[in-house]
Amino acid sequence: MESPGDATRAAFEAWRCMSAEHDAAYARVSAARDAAQAMADQPGLFSLRQQTLARAALAPKPLLTKRKVVATAVLLLAGAPLAALGIHAWSPRMVQPSGETFRTGIGQQADVTLPDGSTVTLDTASRLEVRYDGDMRRVLLDGQGWFRLKPSEKPFLVSAGGHSFTADRGSFDIRTDPGQVRAFAMDGSLSLAGGDSSVALTSGKLLAARGNDVTIQKLDDPASFTGWRSGLLQFDDVPVAQAASELNRYRRRPIRIADSRVASLHVSGAFRTTETPAFVDALTSGFPVRVKQDSSEGVVIASR
């Protein structure tokens, strides 16, 4: 954390000397700082800090008044110890339920550390609801998430797209879309619950579930499903309409296809989620298509 400057320190000292109550408040903060430092190695504190950072990254930035700036200086000078006050609520030794919801907007990604130290990276426009208790590690996912689990005797359950997946270790990627859910196991194994039986998904395999219809296939190029983690979308001979739909997940100004001739063209390549103009340029330079409209409402691609 960046140290406060001379002006901030002077403002703080002036605030502190204004009254005995201010001085006592700072003493309490200092004591909390010492307690936080004594517990710095506990996993619960790390988990709480990571979740606080995730919330802060996605929250709108408030305007600070002069009084708020001085109050912030107190935390800066004390080493921001207040996170320690919530450590017991997130300790894996506690049995009371703990829950929180994380969301990403269009084009955003966020890392979330769960109460047991497992981590999840959320992709664009995703929602993760955390429901931990004494017997089960459970989350609800809408969108896409990359999970890296801490080994535990407690099962880890993901509810996504009307289906339930269980695992106890390893890493995997799950994505929900209207009418289907897909899961890819990077390492370890993942099970899809289904009535009285379950379907096991082993490392390197992609599962797709549409209602009761479940298929499993080996992915020769995992980056085609996991490239989003590095901000890259890869297409291998897919219809232009499908590629545009994928890119639109990261855009507020969607790419619209004006006619079926453009939609049925096939495209291959790798494109950055943050550089969608490159996709439009590739289409107009490699196919008989043109930009019919480019406005605040989106980009329309039509046949020449």
Distance CA 265, CA 238 (A): 8
Q: Tell me what pLDDT residue 195 has.
A: 61
Burial of 120 (0-12, 13-18, 19+ CB in 10 A): buried
Q: Tell me what pLDDT residue 248 has.
A: 96
Residue spans in the chain of domains classed CATH 2.60.120.1440: 96-220
Q: Tell me what pLDDT residue 193 has.
A: 84
Distances in Å between the alpha carbon of 198 and those of 195, 211, 212, 246? Answer: 7, 14, 12, 30
CB 219 within 8 A of CB 226: no
Distance CA 273, CA 251 (A): 8
CB 130 within 8 A of CB 101: yes
Q: Tell me what pLDDT residue 283 has.
A: 94
Q: Tell me what pLDDT residue 71 has.
A: 42
The helix (H) or strand (E) run that includes residue 29 is helix 20-38
Residue spans in the chain of domains classed CATH 3.55.50.30: 231-303
Distance CA 300, CA 281 (A): 13
Please report, as a single letter, which amino acid is at residue 50.
Q
For the chain, 304 residues long, the average pLDDT of each consecutive 10-residue run is 65 76 72 57 50 51 44 41 29 46 94 94 97 90 97 93 92 96 93 79 94 91 93 94 96 94 94 89 94 91 94
Q: Which of 106, 141, 145, 139 is nearest to 228 (CA)?
A: 145
Q: Which of these CATH numbers, 2.60.120.1440, 3.40.640.10, 3.40.50.1240, 3.30.365.10, describes 96-220?
A: 2.60.120.1440
CATH second-level architecture of 231-303? 3-Layer(bab) Sandwich (3.55)
Q: Tell me what pLDDT residue 27 has.
A: 72
